């Protein structure tokens, strides 16, 4: 992080959806081809980042979307929600532009999630990460997450998510 940069993590609003979709496509197409392949990337982008899905999630209680802006340009985002039982927060998405990885921005976004989890009385934060996503797994370990179990989940379109579930205390 540079002293001259204007850095802001703020809640996403409906007017951000087109910029978020463009950022998601850029990040996913850069990061995931060797991990899940282009066909699955395109399927998952449509499944998770369509305007209808984003609008519905932005209006949902107990679910948050945050946008990382550097000099007013979207460069990262996260999404997290309260699990129905209430004692756990699920980190659903945490993505950064490649040029910003390893510079503390991911931790900044994670700290915001942890603060929200504490406010809501959560004791644990969990996430799912692709087993072949070694860079992200290493970052999560550095942030105090540990693998709890492996899961394989069908997501439609003939695709599966082959993930580790990782967790840490709040």
The verdict on residue 69 lying in a domain is yes
What confidence tens digit (pLDDT) does each residue in 100-121 have? 998 999 999 999 999 999 999 9
The verdict on residue 2 lying in a domain is no
The verdict on residue 87 lying in a domain is yes
Count structural domains, the chain. Answer: 1
What confidence tens digit (pLDDT) does each residue in 41-96 have? 999 999 999 999 999 999 899 999 999 999 999 999 999 999 988 789 999 999 99
The verdict on residue 151 lying in a domain is yes
pLDDT given for residue 1 in this prediction:
57
Helix ranges (H only) for the chain are 17-31, 33-36, 38-49, 51-58, 105-119, 134-142
List the domain range (segments joined by +) for residue 154. Answer: 7-169
C-beta of residue 136 within 8 angstroms of C-beta of residue 147: no
pLDDT given for residue 164 in this prediction:
98
Nearest of 111, 100, 109, 149 to residue 128 by alpha carbon = 149
The verdict on residue 100 lying in a domain is yes
d(CA 124, CA 29): 31
The verdict on residue 1 lying in a domain is no
- Helix%, strand%, coil% for the chain, nearest 5: 40, 35, 25
What confidence tens digit (pLDDT) does each residue in 116-153 have? 999 999 999 999 999 999 999 999 999 999 999 999 99
pLDDT given for residue 84 in this prediction:
86
Which residues lie across from 82 on neighbouring strands? 89
Give yes or no for residue 2 having a pLDDT over 80: no
d(CA 30, CA 27): 5
The verdict on residue 53 lying in a domain is yes
Tell me how many degrees the CA angle 16-12-170 measures, rounded to the nearest 5. 150
Domain CATH number, residue 37? 3.40.630.30
The verdict on residue 113 lying in a domain is yes
């Amino acid at each position: 992080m540079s002293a001259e940069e204007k850095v802001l993590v703020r809640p996403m609003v409906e007017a951000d959806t087109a910029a978020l979709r463009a950022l998601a496509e850029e990040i996913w197409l850069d990061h995931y081809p060797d991990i899940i392949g282009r066909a699955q990337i395109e399927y998952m982008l449509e499944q998770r980042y369509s305007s209808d899905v984003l609008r519905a999630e932005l209006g949902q209680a107990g679910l948050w979307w945050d946008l990382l802006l550097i000099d007013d340009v979207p460069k990262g985002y996260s999404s997290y929600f309260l699990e129905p039982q209430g004692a756990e927060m699920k980190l659903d998405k945490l993505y950064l532009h490649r040029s910003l990885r390893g510079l503390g921005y991911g931790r900044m976004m994670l700290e915001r999630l942890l603060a929200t989890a504490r406010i809501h009385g959560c004791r644990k934060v969990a996430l799912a990460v692709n087993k072949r996503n070694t860079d992200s797994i290493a970052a999560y370990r550095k942030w105090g997450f540990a693998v709890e179990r492996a899961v394989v989940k069908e997501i439609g379109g003939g695709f599966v998510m082959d993930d580790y579930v990782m967790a840490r205390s709040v």
